[in-house]
């Protein structure tokens, strides 16, 4: 059976060290370690992690060592992010959030996971991203928090 490809935005990597999110973020990393799921990262996550504390940078390196696919920022992703912006989904200052969605969409991942409930994991935003995706020839995007994806049992 094919493993689900899961795009992690930077909030999930940093969430491994946040008391509110650590259980679920680390459970997701454990799923990658058991190869239940396939991690997908991007050059954007790599760039954002450069400004993060060393433990977050180390977690990013751990994900790479688990065989994470690393997406390059390409013209298709930039163009799609610009379409999201043109449709007014988020103000221009949140360009990176739009680019995370675009990178995951263009790479045809199965799901994007994030702890960003304001701009990414939000029903009305997901519907708007998906509408632009369909208009642009891509499939709708599946977006969840790690809590809905990780196999952690309480």
Give the range of the structural domain holding residue 47, as residue numbers without chain letter. Answer: 4-149
Six-digit token pair at 95?
């360009």
The CA distances from residue 20 to 12, 29, 32, 44, 52, in Å, are 11, 16, 21, 24, 18
State how many domains the chain has: 1
Query: Distance between CA 66 and CA 8 in Å, rounded?
Result: 13
Residue 143 sits in a domain of what CATH number? 3.40.50.1010
Contact 104, 40 (CB under 8 A): yes
Report yes or no: 5 and 148 within 8 Å, Cβ to Cβ.
no
Residue 154 inside a domain? The answer is no
Q: Establish if 145 belongs to a structural domain.
A: yes
Report the SS3 class of residue 41: strand
Q: Summarize pLDDT for 87-109 with one digit per residue, the tens.
A: 999 999 999 999 999 999 999 99
State pLDDT tens for residues 49-72.
999 999 999 999 999 999 999 999
Mean pLDDT, range 71-75, rounded to an integer: 98
- Is residue 88 assigned to a domain? yes
pTM of the predicted protein model:
0.96
The confidence score (pLDDT) of residue 2 equals 85
Structure tokens at 147: 């809590």
Question: CA torsion angle for 108, 110, 114, 118 (degrees, to 10)?
Answer: 70
């Amino acid at each position: 059976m094919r493993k689900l490809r899961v795009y992690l935005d930077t909030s999930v990597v940093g969430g491994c060290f946040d008391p509110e999110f650590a259980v679920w973020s680390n459970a997701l990393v454990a799923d990658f370690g058991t190869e239940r799921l396939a991690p997908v990262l991007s050059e954007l996550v790599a760039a954002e992690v450069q400004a993060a504390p060393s433990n977050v940078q180390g977690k990013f390196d751990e994900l790479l060592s688990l065989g994470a696919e690393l997406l390059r920022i390409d013209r298709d992703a930039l163009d799609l992010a610009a379409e999201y912006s043109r449709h007014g989904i988020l103000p221009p200052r949140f360009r990176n959030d739009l680019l995370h969605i675009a990178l995951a969409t263009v790479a045809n991942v199965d799901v994007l996971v994030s702890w960003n409930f304001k701009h990414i994991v939000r029903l009305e935003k997901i519907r708007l991203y998906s509408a632009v995706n369909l208009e642009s020839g891509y499939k709708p995007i599946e977006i969840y928090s790690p809590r809905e994806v990780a196999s952690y049992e309480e």
